Amino acid sequence: MPKETFLNLPPEKRELIEKRAMEEFARLPYEQASLSRIVDTCGIAKGSMYQYFSDKLALYLYIVELAYEKKRTYVNKAFAAEGGMFKILEEYYHQSYLFSRDYPLMHKVVNNFWESRAQRLHSQLSRGKIAREQDFLKFLTKAVEEGEANPSLNPAAVFFVYHAVGKDLIDHFGEEMNGEFVSQVLDVLKLGLQRREEKR
């Protein structure tokens, strides 16, 4: 996290450092990103950066949090959607897509964070995954209680499927998300692949 000296910088200098760091961490995963490149593009001495952040990890986690803070302003809207579990999921995917379209660098930073294999990020990734799974479990438990979700399914498996589908949906679309296709994908998840006998 940033030191007080960073927070006390003039806004334009602080925003420049954030912008250049965002570009670097969007372009490369943590383990390949270079603090030296960031300070070079900012036009400041490397020693100055250590007055603002203790190390590359502190800067990285700050940038990841900035990206997530912005993403939350989008995806939190999904939980105001009416129509039950699948409408909320559809809106969640849609808002995630809008975030990726409006803030592509932040979207890449978030993706790089979750896909990182850096040992230094192990504890942060583990805590983050646990928190996400717990949030989804609350959502799924409510859906089960309201009779929308199958109580016999493994919650961890459900979380895995919906997370994987959501990520691929966002990466699949270009300029505009096809709402009808998203609904059809959700129908596959909702109804499953197994053939059912038609009611007579």
Task: Break the chain into its structural domains and give their ranges.
Answer: 4-191
pLDDT band, residue 191 (cuts 50/70/90): confident
First to last CA, the chain: 63
pLDDT at 199: 55
Does residue 200 have a pLDDT over 60? no
pLDDT at 1: 83
Cα separation, 170 vs 176, in Å, equals 10
pLDDT band, residue 185 (cuts 50/70/90): confident
Task: Write the CA distances from 155 to 123, 149, 166, integer angstroms.
Answer: 23, 10, 16
Q: Which tens digits make up the pLDDT trace of 85-128?
A: 989 998 998 899 999 999 999 999 999 999 898 999 999 999 99
Query: What ranges in the chain are assigned the alpha helix state H?
Result: 4-7, 11-27, 35-42, 46-52, 56-75, 85-102, 104-115, 122-145, 155-172, 179-191
* pTM, to two decimals: 0.87
Q: Which tens digits make up the pLDDT trace of 8-64?
A: 999 999 999 999 999 999 999 999 999 999 999 999 999 999 999 999 999 999 999
Higher local confidence (pLDDT), 60 or 174: 60
How many CA atoms does the CB half-sphere of 184 hold within 13 Å?
Answer: 5
The answer to whether residues 17 and 42 touch, using CB atoms and an 8 Å cutoff, is yes
pLDDT at 179: 79
Average confidence (pLDDT) over 132-148: 91
Task: Write the CA distances from 35 to 4, 17, 90, 157, 189, integer angstroms.
Answer: 19, 11, 38, 38, 43
Q: Is 81 left (phi over 0), alpha (psi -120 to 50) or beta?
A: beta
Does residue 4 have a pLDDT over 80? yes
Using CB atoms within 10 Å of the CB of residue 167, give its burial: 0 to 12 exposed, 13 to 18 middle, 19+ buried: middle
Which numeric CATH code is attached to 4-191? 1.10.357.10
pLDDT at 73: 95
Tokens of 41: 């593009």
pLDDT band, residue 129 (cuts 50/70/90): confident
Cα separation, 170 vs 94, in Å, equals 8
